């Protein structure tokens, strides 16, 4: 059996189910399971944020746009890393830790997108 970090989503889900049936702790594995779903959405969330920022600030040039994009990606990475770390030490529930950055930045992106001038 491969290590949990190398398992596919379906294999990891079955492994978590197996561990739960045996009464073992599954916090870290559930965190990995939900991370396998939430992490791929990062590109969609960051694209929505980029579109929202582009629509909001049309002037300023490419350099400012690129700088804002880099700052957003770094901020997302920091929030995601902190949330996952808190999930690993059981200070946040595993599901919440895995989805925190995606939900926070997705919410910001949607709010900016809705309020963007047309």
Q: Give dist(CA 114, CA 105) in Å, integer.
A: 14
- Measured in whole angstroms, the distance separating CA 41 from the mean position of its chain's CA atoms is 7
Residue 53, pLDDT score: 75
Residue 96, pLDDT score: 94
Cβ atoms of 76 and 42 closer than 8 Å: yes
Q: How many residues does the chain have?
A: 118
Residue 9, pLDDT score: 87
Residue 18, pLDDT score: 92
pLDDT in tens, 17-76: 999 999 988 888 888 889 998 988 988 998 888 877 777 666 666 677 777 878 888 999
The secondary structure of the chain as a DSSP string is ---GGGS-HHHHHHHHHHHHHTT---HHHHHHHHHHHHGGGHHHHHHHHHHHHHHH---SHHHHHHHHHHHHHHHHHHHHHHHHHHHHTTSS-HHHHHHHHHHHHHHHHHHHHHHS--
Residue 118, pLDDT score: 67
- Measured in whole angstroms, the distance separating CA 71 from the mean position of its chain's CA atoms is 16
């Amino acid at each position: 059996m491969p290590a949990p970090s190398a398992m596919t989503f379906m294999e990891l889900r079955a492994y978590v189910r197996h561990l739960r049936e045996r009464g073992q702790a599954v916090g870290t594995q559930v965190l990995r399971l939900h991370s396998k779903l939430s992490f791929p959405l990062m590109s969609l969330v960051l694209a929505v944020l980029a579109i929202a920022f582009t629509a909001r600030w049309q002037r300023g040039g490419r350099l400012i746009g690129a700088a804002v994009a880099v700052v957003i990606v770094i901020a997302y990475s920091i929030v995601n890393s902190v949330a996952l770390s808190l999930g690993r030490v059981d200070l946040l529930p595993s599901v919440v830790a895995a989805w925190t950055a995606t939900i926070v930045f997705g919410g910001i992106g949607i709010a900016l997108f809705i309020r963007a001038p047309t």
